Amino acid sequence: MGPVEILFYTVVLIFGFIGLVRGVHRELGNAIIFMAVVAILGLANSQGWIERGAQAVASALGADAVRMAEITFVVYCIILIVVVIVTYQGKTPDFSTKPILGFWGGVLGFIVGAFNGYLIAGTLWFYADKYQYPFNLLTGPLTPTGTLLLQYSPLTVFPNPVFWAVPATILLILRVWR
């Protein structure tokens, strides 16, 4: 397997192209939800809620510490992935009062889509690193680029959940205001 940052770049690019196709007005609605989920997961991380729940499940199953880390990682992944699937399949807040068309609409859609990909891939990578890459997701050391990118994951850049909740709230207010 190649360096993990290639997977990170790939996810960001895929979501960037999804944003290009869907448009900035729809991607901003997804960004609200993704920033809110990153804030909620950050709060759960800082309070240890999911770890305590995973510990209860692991002790009930008689699992060791390694399995507990794997269970906790899987719970974080399931929460984020389910939200991503539901968000892209369902209705989201839509900023389509006056859609931006043409070249700049595509560019902005790509940028917001890539930002959404960054939130998703960066959050998953943050938790994979926190739980020491369970299931042997990474077998060797990180490359220097991977180490640098990991320092810019969403929950490393802004570890306080308020920093993710505030922009999500502002975007939601702007959407309701229109």
Assigned domain for 130 exists: yes
* Dihedral, CA of residue 55, residue 56, residue 60 and residue 63, to nearest 10: 0
Instruction: Assess whether pLDDT exceeds 70 at residue 1.
Output: no
Tell me which residue range forms the domain holding 79: 4-172
In contact, 31 and 118? CB cutoff 8 Å: no
| Domain count for the chain | 1
pLDDT of residue 128: 92
Instruction: Assess whether pLDDT exceeds 80 at residue 178.
Output: no
Per-residue pLDDT tens over the stretch 96-119: 767 677 888 889 999 999 999 999
Assigned domain for 51 exists: yes
Assigned domain for 178 exists: no
Assigned domain for 151 exists: yes
Q: Residue 150 CB: number of other CB atoms within 10 A?
A: 18
Phi and psi at 138, nearest 5°, equal -135, 120
Assigned domain for 86 exists: yes
Per-residue pLDDT tens over the stretch 120-171: 999 999 999 999 888 887 777 888 998 999 999 999 999 898 999 998 888 8
Tokens (6 digits) for 136: 């042997």
Assigned domain for 156 exists: yes
pLDDT of residue 74: 92
Instruction: Calculate helix-pair angle for 65-89, 49-61, nearest 10 degrees.
Output: 120
Assigned domain for 177 exists: no
pLDDT of residue 4: 85
Instruction: Assess whether pLDDT exceeds 90 at residue 59.
Output: no
pLDDT of residue 65: 74
Q: Residue 18 CB: number of other CB atoms within 10 A?
A: 19
Higher pLDDT: 33 or 62? It is 33
pLDDT of residue 92: 75
171 contact partners, CB below 8 Å, separation of at least 6: 28, 31, 32, 35, 93
Q: Please list the alpha-helical segments (H only) found in the chain.
A: 4-22, 24-47, 49-61, 65-89, 102-130, 144-150, 154-157, 162-177
- pTM check: above 0.85: yes
pLDDT of residue 97: 67
Tokens (6 digits) for 105: 């609409």
Assigned domain for 103 exists: yes
